[in-house]
Structure 1
Amino acid sequence: MDVEDQGSVVVGVTVVDQLIRAGVREAVVCPGSRSAPLALAFAEADRTGRVRVHVRTDERTAAFLALGLAKASGRVVPVVMTSGTAVANCLPAMVEASMAGVPLMVLSANRPLALVGTGANQTIEQAEIFGVHARATLSTHGASVRESAAGSADAGGSGAVDADVSESSATGASGASVRSVIDEAVAAALNPLNPGGVHVDVPLEEPLVPESTDVVSLLAREAASEAEPAGEVARDARENPRRNRALPYGEVGVDLSKRTLVIAGSSADEAWARAISDELADVPTIAEPTAAAPDFPVHSAAIGMFTAGVVAHGEYSAMTRPEHIILVGRPTLHRAVTALLKDPDIPVTVLTDVENYPTFATNIVQVGSRIRLDNDSPQAWLDVCRGVSDMGAEAVRQALRLTRAPASTESGAAGSGSAVDGTGGAAANAPDSSAPFSAAHAVAVVADSLSVGDLLVLGASTAVRDASRAGLPFDGVRTLANRGAAGIDGTISTAIGAALAHAAADPTAIRAPRTVAVMGDLTFLHDATALNIGPHEPRPSNMLIVVTNDNGGGIFETLEPGRDALRTFGDGTPAFERVFGTPTGANIEDICHAFSADYHQATSVEDLARIVEEHEELGNEGITVVEAVVDRAWRRTIEQHIATTVNPQR
């Protein structure tokens, strides 16, 4: 089958067939005229059961949906769109994919390359639109446009590659070369040493559609019947790229007779991270919610005590400063962790499953992918770590039990249709401050409800931090968050994609496994159109979204902009609330009803616990959104109490 003779319809069919051969099982498609050959080919593949297609009308949402599908499944998931700004809308998801090692593929249609730069309608320079954020940038027009260093499975860092592009036609490639480009893109996305997002640009000339869908079906059958080229990578290797793979670094040894602390963040290869966690089972570990659950957890609320060196209480004193740190994966949450890693007097061993490991630690002494532990940890050090962890956990429990009213600030409580008055006073329907209900309380309720087999997706701002306070990660509960670039964009879409992949992993289950997503109101509003799922599209089942609505940006309450001196100008004009608190007064109930999502509201810990328990017991055929109406002012009070309780200087 010759692409040059058969035209753009065959290009689309060939691309889709090769993606399926390479292990693709899910695809997200956006409507567009130029991308019609790809869209029709995917529709045919969906009809015949070769792939499951999800259609979305917003490319930004679509890209994050594909990100969630890829993140949860570990497979390449393409998102298809037309030319122009449609492609640019995928940049946030591409950045997150490559920062987090997720095999997202942006599959963009393009005008014939001869039209680029001529001012032709809906024609932009798409070849390098993602720049360094794509592991590889390729074109079906005959050659690789650019491949980033270590981007392909067998590359040793090729840098820029000049494209040898034929101008003989708008499509410019044979069927064999199209298949080769797709294989190269999949290999780059799944590169076990450096996985991430890739971009494949597909120039298409008119005619873009056949006379009937029968032509698409016929061409798809012909493409599927073609024999695989000799030497093509075995299917098992394509679908399981990390099985029996070579790791980037060798074995390193650590002497546990020195006070050793493990700090664990996210890893691209979760199986590798679990194996390393098992090896480190007896070593005290500070683990972020998205890390593998450790056997010897140290609560995150007490991290600062490790920087003190010695903690004294009455006649008792203990050495808390580690003599060695083992860094697993990439931690991003806690400033106190960064401070520990930047201490020039503490040597750091880095354990990584990818070539590009975090380098922000000051005193990295060795890098490995496997570990050998020598000697045993001193019992006194283990006792100190248990004590420190218990202090942190107890500080959080005490903070959540506080009943005194928080200090007055401009941060009003949220509510359906609530607003903050001009002077920053709380709205009339604010929760009673004598019965505290904050985002931290809401996340604690959700954490208490989690069971083995649940999938938890967290917003990248306050939700993931509150989950850390609640003691996550939990064994048997997979936890995901877009902490690659730590943006709040696309969280609902990511969660929906992850929920769909989570259910697809066990299609024989009587009831879909539960997916719970937790995020703040701004994160929810940022991606609310993700709830716009067409009537013919796959929908997640047994999915719960908890929105902690504090009417604005709660995270800033505890950061530098939240200081009292920055709350207002000298004449009383609000400063913090205007540009950091950013209350919206949005009616989340109306938004949910507009997209036919089931909606509930909780105004207390008891309300939320009841709703979550009912959902856990009964499930739901679709998406249930619970708006937890919380008070932002409590965040400062809770964090101040925790900091005071675990302050090593007291």
Structure 2
Amino acid sequence: MPDDNLQNAAFKWSTTFVRALYEEGVRHVIISPGSRSTALTLAFSAHPGFKTHVIIDERSAAFTALGIAKESGIPAVLVCTSGTAVANYFPAVIEATQSGVPMIVASADRPPHQRGLGASQTIDQLKIFGDYPVFFHEAGEPNEREQSTKRLKMASRQAVQHAMEQEGVAHLNFAFSKPFEPKAEYLEEVEFENGKLLQPPPSYSIKQGNMELGETFWSDLVSAERPLIVVGPASASDHPEKNEYIHELAQTLKAPVIAEPGAALPSSPQNIQGFDGFLRNEKNRNLLNADLILRFGAQPVSKALNLYMEQSEAMQIVFRRAGRWNDGSLSGHKHIDLTGPIAIPEVTGSAQESWLATWKQAEQAFNVFRNEQLEPSTPLTDGLIFSTVTNQFPDESFTMLSNSFPARDMSLFGDFDGREVYMNRGAAGIDGITSTAIGLSLSSQKPGVLFVGDIAFLHDSNALLQAASVDKPLVVIVLNNGGGTIFRMLPVHDIRSKYTEYFETPQQVKIAALCRAHGIHHTLVSKPDQIAPVFHKLKKRNGLHVMECMTDAEKSMEQRHALWNFKLKLNPGS
């Protein structure tokens, strides 16, 4: 191979890969700097069709890619060097796999002849993520053979299509020997050629016909007198317009709909809010006893809703994506693979109007009780933050909820009907929450709000390094209650000699100082009358802003318990 060809080999190989991804409609790449990945980095930077994001922390980078794909439904590409760099993607790979989010990992590696010899920054990267990816390909070392080039192009297409159709992670491992950098003139030549290849992205919709179900199935459904529809968190490919058939089904059956935050369901008069409060009480569950439960989306987050389904004697039909078993409560009687929107025939359900009316009465009665409990007072509570802020959400905005209490408090205190809400519920960890929200912002170019606890915020503090990349308003509401108070829900809370040190782990970090170190605007909220005016101001300001709310853990738990113990006074059928 002539010297120029040798010098340009890695970059030319990488350019073939990059162009193939572009043709498949991929537009975002997140690059973590490194030496071994130089050729990949330069190939992406030389293609003006890609939006490049440089993030030094690989774990944060991976969750940013997750956020981009959650919003767009299109995989973003992750580029990193060899060694532990790629291992730092693992938490996001797990979350993407289990929540159905497409992602592509392009990792650089040493060539085979240098592996297993103690070479620096070398680990076993072949199938490093085990069975989590939906596609893995060892790209091999760069070469000029026509068949090899064709295979690389095909692997690029496979990566995109597997990631989108199977809703998961594709991993390609690239082996590079030095030299990594091309000749300067060749880099300029490729960059010029790429500029002439720009084109609009192809249509990403996977065409599906309506799903036909038999007469016997519909006969069973329309005979139900107390039907209920439950919708858990959605996958990345689910959008409200695709899920409108669920409301059509609810109207046909005259069924109330319990749609959790993140369900990607449009607003509807049949949607029920406040369920995480009034369904905690066993007597309330008995008053609202269904005889048929139809379930869509992932396993619900709400403990109250899971209790309802576990204790119900109703027939439960779980509609699931192929290969995804979303029945953590083990209460489903039938599991049906969804191949597309359900085609609804000309049928009429047997439920009386009083069935839905009873649920709406429960919703209204609980809402009145909740408002009484949330009268502004000192000290500040988590519930009051949710109640106040969700009534002021900007139009056409998104909301990201951290795991632990925020994912639950939205259902208990907030107004989220028809809202664009996201959560990382695949593995439900507290990793990368702020990074995911930044990814959502970069992809959607909409205003956004993140609710995150102090521990989860500190867990992903490296996300603040990329705050400058956020153009639209992104208000990060840090609910600082001094530690991991989610554990107060568990029996271990009663073991006071061990609880605080080993579980709640109070922290003393000055979040204002952390923000100042990163050049980020910070506002401290400690009184109820500060919440609305501060949020009203921040939601209009471009960029990432931290709104730190000092809430009282004890008072917040008292409010939650009060709502969980709420007793309905209803007569079914009245």
Judge same fold: TM > 0.5, yes or no: yes
Contact 1:305/1:648, CA 8 A, preserved across alignment: no
The CA deviation at 1:294 is: 4.7
Pairing 1:218-617 to 2, within 5 Å after superposition: 218-221=189-192, 236=202, 239-242=203-206, 244-245=207-208, 253=218, 254-255=221-222, 257-268=224-235, 269-270=238-239, 271-281=241-251, 282-291=254-263, 292-295=265-268, 296-298=270-272, 299-302=274-277, 304=279, 308=283, 319-343=287-311, 345-360=313-328, 361-367=330-336, 369=338, 370=342, 372=344, 374-401=348-375, 435-475=378-418, 477-503=419-445, 513-533=446-466, 538-562=469-493, 565-568=494-497, 575-616=498-539
Matched positions, count: 550
Q: How many angstroms apart in 1 are the aligned matches of 2:152 and 2:285?
A: 63
Pairing 1:53-72 to 2, within 5 Å after superposition: 53-72=52-71
Q: How many angstroms apart in 2 are the aligned matches of 1:172 and 1:35?
A: 23
The CA deviation at 1:482 is: 0.9
Pairing 1:146-185 to 2, within 5 Å after superposition: 174-185=148-159
Describe the shift of the 1:248–1:185 C-alpha distance in structure 2 as closer, same or farther (beyond 3 A): farther
Contact 1:256/1:375, CA 8 A, preserved across alignment: yes
Higher helix share: 2
Q: How many angstroms apart in 2 are the aligned matches of 1:357 and 1:71?
A: 20
One-letter amino acid matched to 2:16: T
Q: How many angstroms apart in 2 are the aligned matches of 1:170 and 1:306?
A: 69
The CA deviation at 1:436 is: 3.4
Q: Secondary structure at the match of 2:85?
A: helix
Describe the shift of the 1:579–1:74 C-alpha distance in structure 2 as closer, same or farther (beyond 3 A): same
Q: Does 2:154 align with 1:200?
A: no
Deviating above 6 A after TM superposition, structure 1's stretches of 4 or more consecutive aligned residues are: 1-5, 167-173, 223-228
Q: How many angstroms apart in 2 are the aligned matches of 1:309 and 1:516?
A: 33
Query: What is the match of residue 89 of structure 2?
Result: 90
Describe the shift of the 1:168–1:328 C-alpha distance in structure 2 as closer, same or farther (beyond 3 A): closer
Contact 2:441/2:470, CA 8 A, preserved across alignment: no
One-letter amino acid matched to 1:288: E
User: TM-score when scaled to structure 2?
Assistant: 0.88
Per-residue CA deviations over 1:299-348 (Å, capped at 9, x if unaligned) read 2234536854875xxxxxxx421111010111331223223333473211
Say which is worse superposed, 112-121 or 248-257, in terms of deviation. 248-257
The CA deviation at 1:351 is: 2.5
Q: Secondary structure at the match of 1:606?
A: helix
Q: How many angstroms apart in 2 are the aligned matches of 1:522 and 1:248?
A: 44
The CA deviation at 1:552 is: 0.3
Unaligned runs of 5+ in 2: none
Describe the shift of the 1:115–1:223 C-alpha distance in structure 2 as closer, same or farther (beyond 3 A): farther
Q: How many angstroms apart in 1 are the aligned matches of 2:548 and 2:201?
A: 45
Describe the shift of the 1:168–1:175 C-alpha distance in structure 2 as closer, same or farther (beyond 3 A): closer
Query: What is the match of residue 52 of structure 1?
Result: 51
Q: How many angstroms apart in 2 are the aligned matches of 1:209 and 1:188?
A: 31
The CA deviation at 1:598 is: 0.7
The CA deviation at 1:560 is: 2.6
Q: How many angstroms apart in 1 are the aligned matches of 2:526 and 2:10?
A: 56
| Aligned equivalent of 1:21, options 10, 20, 23 | 23
One-letter amino acid matched to 1:365: K
Per-residue CA deviations over 1:86-134 (Å, capped at 9, x if unaligned) read 0000001111111111111111111112322222211111111111221
The CA deviation at 1:68 is: 0.8
Q: How many angstroms apart in 2 are the aligned matches of 1:471 and 1:104?
A: 31
Q: How many angstroms apart in 1 are the aligned matches of 2:449 and 2:22?
A: 30
Per-residue CA deviations over 1:254-298 (Å, capped at 9, x if unaligned) read 226421111111122224334423432442122111111452122
| Aligned equivalent of 1:217, options 183, 188, 201 | 188
Unaligned runs of 5+ in 1: 142-166, 229-233, 312-318, 404-433, 504-512, 569-574
Query: What is the match of residue 413 of structure 1?
Result: none
Describe the shift of the 1:647–1:137 C-alpha distance in structure 2 as closer, same or farther (beyond 3 A): farther
The CA deviation at 1:390 is: 2.4
One-letter amino acid matched to 2:189: L
Describe the shift of the 1:594–1:172 C-alpha distance in structure 2 as closer, same or farther (beyond 3 A): farther
The CA deviation at 1:60 is: 0.6
Per-residue CA deviations over 1:599-626 (Å, capped at 9, x if unaligned) read 111002211211011223xx22311111
Q: How many angstroms apart in 2 are the aligned matches of 1:338 and 1:367?
A: 20
Describe the shift of the 1:170–1:348 C-alpha distance in structure 2 as closer, same or farther (beyond 3 A): farther
Please, what is the CA RMSD of the aligned residues?
3.0
Query: What is the match of residue 428 of structure 1?
Result: none
Per-residue CA deviations over 1:185-213 (Å, capped at 9, x if unaligned) read 1011110xx3112211111122111232x
